[in-house]
């Protein structure tokens, strides 16, 4: 997907939603709205009781999903149902406890069977990821590791070596959540990462406006990751699923259009 978009001079929109928020049935419709709105990669979060990398928006979405009875199996089944609709890449975000509890090989076998393309594990450092990477490589599922502005170059090189699919660049210090502007340190870190790898680099944490998307893609990002914005929309419109889906579709469409405008401006 990234290569195809790159050949067209276009950035990727990775749309994140916590699977099961506000409930499994409604979450399926929200994921469909993201796809209909134009996301190029769908990222499904497996809800977890202690999402340490996430700010209030996604913490609350995880709480709603868990309260509705969502389990890791629920999320894997959602991925299997969603994949045939557009055949876009599907990535799971999960905390390592869930994978460890299931068993590495068993978890990745299930993910592969359900046509999951990659996994993001925010709390798994590369120093402790050898068995994880071996299981992922055996199942041919991408390993997507995170880099941050605080990551020194020697460690950044190791993260690049351990990653497949794309590099998840955390744009700011801190947790997920919509921000008002893109910081200079984000653009500086983006250039550091781009100098070290030919893998696509997607920027997340705080991306919430079309102008953010334009700035990042025109500065060399291969894609952007948007999640808290969609979680906030769900939280504001609980009880009105049709309106939620309409707003999410429109929002995703506006963000996707920004990836195209940015690419044209960059050319």
Which residues participate in catalysis according to the annotation? 43, 54
DSSP 37-58: HT-SEEEEEPP-S--TT--HHH
Which stretches of 89-184 are assigned E, i.e. beta strand? Answer: 90-93, 118-120, 142-144, 146-147, 167-170
Give strand pairing partners of 224. Answer: 13, 203
Residue 24: C-alpha distances to residues 17, 18, 65, 233 (Å): 12, 10, 8, 17
239 conformational bin, left if phi > 0, alpha if psi -120 to 50, beta if neither: left
Question: Three-class SS of residue 246?
Answer: helix
Q: Residue for token digits 């409604």?
A: 26
């Amino acid at each position: 997907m990234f290569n195809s978009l790159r050949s067209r001079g276009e950035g990727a929109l990775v749309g994140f939603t916590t699977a099961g928020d506000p409930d499994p049935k409604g979450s399926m419709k929200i994921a469909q709205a993201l796809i209909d709105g134009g996301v190029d990669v769908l990222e499904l979060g497996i809800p977890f009781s202690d999402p340490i990398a996430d700010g209030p928006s996604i913490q609350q979405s995880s709480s709603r999903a868990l309260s509705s009875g969502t389990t890791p199996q629920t999320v894997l089944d959602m991925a299997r149902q969603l994949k045939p609709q557009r055949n876009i890449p599907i990535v799971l975000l999960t905390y390592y406890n869930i994978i460890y509890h299931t068993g590495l090989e068993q978890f990745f076998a299930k993910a592969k069977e359900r046509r999951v393309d990659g996994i993001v594990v925010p709390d798994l450092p590369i120093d402790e990821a050898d068995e994880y990477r071996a299981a992922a490589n055996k199942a041919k599922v991408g390993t997507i590791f995170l880099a941050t502005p605080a990551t020194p170059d020697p460690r950044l090189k190791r993260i690049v070596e351990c990653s497949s699919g794309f590099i998840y660049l955390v744009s700011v210090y801190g947790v997920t959540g919509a921000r008002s502007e893109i910081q200079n340190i984000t653009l500086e870190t983006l250039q550091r990462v781009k100098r070290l790898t030919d893998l696509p680099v997607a920027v997340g944490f705080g991306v919430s406006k079309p102008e953010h998307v334009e700035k990042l893609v025109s500065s060399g990002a291969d894609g952007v990751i948007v999640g808290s914005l969609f979680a906030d929309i769900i939280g504001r419109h609980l009880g009105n699923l049709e309106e939620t889906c309409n707003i999410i579709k429109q929002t995703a469409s506006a963000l996707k259009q920004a990836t195209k405008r940015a690419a044209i401006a960059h050319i």
